[in-house]
Structure 1
């Protein structure tokens, strides 16, 4: 199993000052800190840095232009892969040709290190861009097919339900051939099945769901992959899951690092945001089901320590984190997307977490994986000899 990173470029409130300088000061520091963290992670052996595309998410995510940041990272990193986590694909968000151009450019600049994730967002963002929510899933897959076609063909044209595009040469083409691996963000069983059926990698989360439940959803994804018809020109069959991660030499440092405060802020802020911006746009049945839990979270009425106990987050010493990561591997996860920069964690604490994960946990995971591979090879040789 691999360790990656997930970044939203948070700017937690309260900001130090009123408009216009409070927000600007916080955003300047957030961008500086996160780029420093990813640069360190590149040296410490992390597999992929996934950067989100979100709009209007005050406090929680101040990164709407992941292509720009990934392009910058391509010039200051050497090994870490650079993930679009994700590009918002329904046509109202962006013309497919612009996605093809942006992802291919990052792939060129990084000499073949791009990973392309796609999604369709939530009502709050969809409404602002005039997205037809009912058609958004179909449009996302149609746009994916369009983009991969633009990369595969010298000249591309399309006359379809969602796009009329005249014959043009789309430039540049990706560094990777035929194009970067394709992933899809999904959380419900329906969309997880869709990712599997279309031969797309699965990006999801362990937030607010026990590993046992997540493992069941991954089994469903694997089953759908058996008869997948890839929507792109690359068949991807991997699962990436993100969760909050903090590794430190001793749990005694949790207080000074503000780990519990930061986790509490993250979960409370997530619930408050949904209640404020998303709830009114959900079907009534979904509202009735989600409201009691979200209201308790938004009010801070929950025990943050239970998330640690149930492995919905990965925090602790390197040894503790390793044991938790192995549970994720047992659930069928190929890559944990470590959300290491959250809440009020000091920069030095995040850098220490990345260093400990890179110096201790990643080598241990690789060594264990190599031993399993060797055992499987020995078993295969012994079986062939017996036959």
Structure 2
């Protein structure tokens, strides 16, 4: 199993965003030196959660030149918000800057407000994402394709510059839908999921479904027949269990409350979510935090986290994307990252 670092965007609060980007670059350089597998950054728009992540390729370009060997990944690109040519060209630049270290996970997008950038894409966003995967692969490989130009006439174009990698490393992002796990298998992409909101048995069933679909699918220039399962998990390795839980509790609960508020603002959200009171939201955050301590997180001592990683290995997980920026300070994150690095040799 590989261990990666995922940024997902805690509330910045009163912190200047300039300082947040400095923190991200400092953590990225440290993760590179410590031998972590990859860095993952999301795409988020117009929300309190993830406010420093509106453009994965822009930030990834900075990460590419700030690091030397670590993978640079988008987790995720909201594919229906972007023309596939734009995606191919932007990420080819980053692939060149990183000397062939990029990969990206495609997502449908979920929040209605995000789609002010492409209002007509919201209703059919899932179908568009799945349709664009084969096209994106062809464009990345250097094939020309026809699109309407400014006059409405069809013109054949080829994206530039040429990337370093001949094949684009791709994942599909899933919030837990069995259909998305299976679609990733059929397309021979990796799958980027999360331990959040999933029990062990349900996750095992998803992985089995994905592996079967991968094995049955034809070669498409993607992953092999076994596929690749990457899971995000909230992570802070403390000196002991008590320290980890004490330091993580307040910032993680604050993050979770913000995430619930963001979800409730989505026009397609369940009305019951939109009508939650502050007290109910706080109760949900408390429940989620306690659940994470039971299973699915890397919040605890090195030994506690080692046990969780061993369980994920048994489930067939290939990579854990360790979500670290849920509100802890830079020094706490870096200290936890050094302790986490010590566990890498136990899971490889």
Task: Give the structure-1-normalised TM-score.
Answer: 0.81
Report deviation, 1:158: 5.2
Could you give the per-residue CA deviations for residues 274-323 of structure 1, whole angstroms, max 9, x where no partner exists?
11x12x314xxx556x6799987623353455224421221111121111
Could you give the per-residue CA deviations for residues 104-124 of structure 1, whole angstroms, max 9, x where no partner exists?
111111111111211111132
Q: 1:197·1:228 contact (CA, 8 Å) conserved in 2? A: yes
Name 1:71's counterpart in structure 2: 61
Name 1:185's counterpart in structure 2: 173
For 1:156-305, list aligned pairs within 5 A: 156-157=145-146, 166-177=155-166, 179-187=167-175, 188-229=177-218, 233-235=221-223, 237-254=227-244, 258-275=247-264, 277-278=265-266, 280-282=267-269, 287=271, 298-301=281-284, 302-303=286-287
Q: 1:196·1:224 contact (CA, 8 Å) conserved in 2? A: yes
Task: Tell me how far apart the structure 1 counterparts of residues 53 and 164 of structure 2 sit (CA, whole Å).
Answer: 25
| Alpha carbons of structure 1 residues 219 and 169: separation in structure 2 relative to 1, 3 Å | same
For 1:131-142, list aligned pairs within 5 A: 131-142=120-131
Task: Tell me how far apart the structure 1 counterparts of residues 296 and 276 of structure 2 sit (CA, whole Å).
Answer: 16
Name 1:350's counterpart in structure 2: 333
Other structure's SS at 2:305 match: helix
| Alpha carbons of structure 1 residues 294 and 353: separation in structure 2 relative to 1, 3 Å | farther
Name 1:21's counterpart in structure 2: none
Name 2:8's counterpart in structure 1: 8
Other structure's SS at 2:93 match: helix
Could you give the per-residue CA deviations for residues 30-74 of structure 1, whole angstroms, max 9, x where no partner exists?
111111111100111111111111111214442111111111111
Verify: 1:311 aligned to 2:269, yes or no. Answer: no
Task: Tell me how far apart the structure 1 counterparts of residues 139 and 193 of structure 2 sit (CA, whole Å).
Answer: 27
User: Greater CA radius of gyration, 1 or 2?
Assistant: 1
Task: Tell me how far apart the structure 2 counterparts of residues 202 and 266 of structure 1 sit (CA, whole Å).
Answer: 25
Q: 1:107·1:114 contact (CA, 8 Å) conserved in 2? A: yes
Task: Tell me how far apart the structure 2 counterparts of residues 296 and 194 of structure 1 sit (CA, whole Å).
Answer: 38
Name 2:94's counterpart in structure 1: 106
Q: CA RMSD in A?
A: 2.5
Other structure's SS at 2:212 match: helix
Name 2:110's counterpart in structure 1: 122
Report deviation, 1:87: 1.3
For 1:30-45, list aligned pairs within 5 A: 30-45=20-35
Could you give the per-residue CA deviations for residues 338-362 of structure 1, whole angstroms, max 9, x where no partner exists?
001112x12111001111111x100
Task: Tell me how far apart the structure 2 counterparts of residues 165 and 183 of structure 1 sit (CA, whole Å).
Answer: 30
| Alpha carbons of structure 1 residues 234 and 304: separation in structure 2 relative to 1, 3 Å | closer
From 135, 140, 156, the equivalent of 1:151 is: 140
Could you give the per-residue CA deviations for residues 244-275 of structure 1, whole angstroms, max 9, x where no partner exists?
000022234347x6311122112222112211
Q: 1:6·1:49 contact (CA, 8 Å) conserved in 2? A: yes
| Gapped regions of structure 2 (runs ≥ 5) | none
Name 1:374's counterpart in structure 2: none
Task: Tell me how far apart the structure 1 counterparts of residues 335 and 170 of structure 2 sit (CA, whole Å).
Answer: 32
Q: 1:54·1:64 contact (CA, 8 Å) conserved in 2? A: yes
Task: Tell me how far apart the structure 2 counterparts of residues 30 and 306 of structure 1 sit (CA, whole Å).
Answer: 28
Q: 1:201·1:239 contact (CA, 8 Å) conserved in 2? A: yes
Other structure's SS at 1:352 match: helix
| Alpha carbons of structure 1 residues 37 and 164: separation in structure 2 relative to 1, 3 Å | farther
Task: Tell me how far apart the structure 2 counterparts of residues 184 and 356 of structure 1 sit (CA, whole Å).
Answer: 30
Aligned residues: 340
Q: 1:244·1:338 contact (CA, 8 Å) conserved in 2? A: yes
Greater Cα shift, 198-207 or 139-148: 139-148
Other structure's SS at 1:34 match: helix
| Alpha carbons of structure 1 residues 77 and 54: separation in structure 2 relative to 1, 3 Å | same
Task: Tell me how far apart the structure 2 counterparts of residues 364 and 61 of structure 1 sit (CA, whole Å).
Answer: 35
Report deviation, 1:212: 2.3
Q: 2:48·2:258 contact (CA, 8 Å) conserved in 1? A: no
From 314, 333, 340, the equivalent of 2:324 is: 340
Task: Tell me how far apart the structure 1 counterparts of residues 47 and 159 of structure 2 sit (CA, whole Å).
Answer: 32
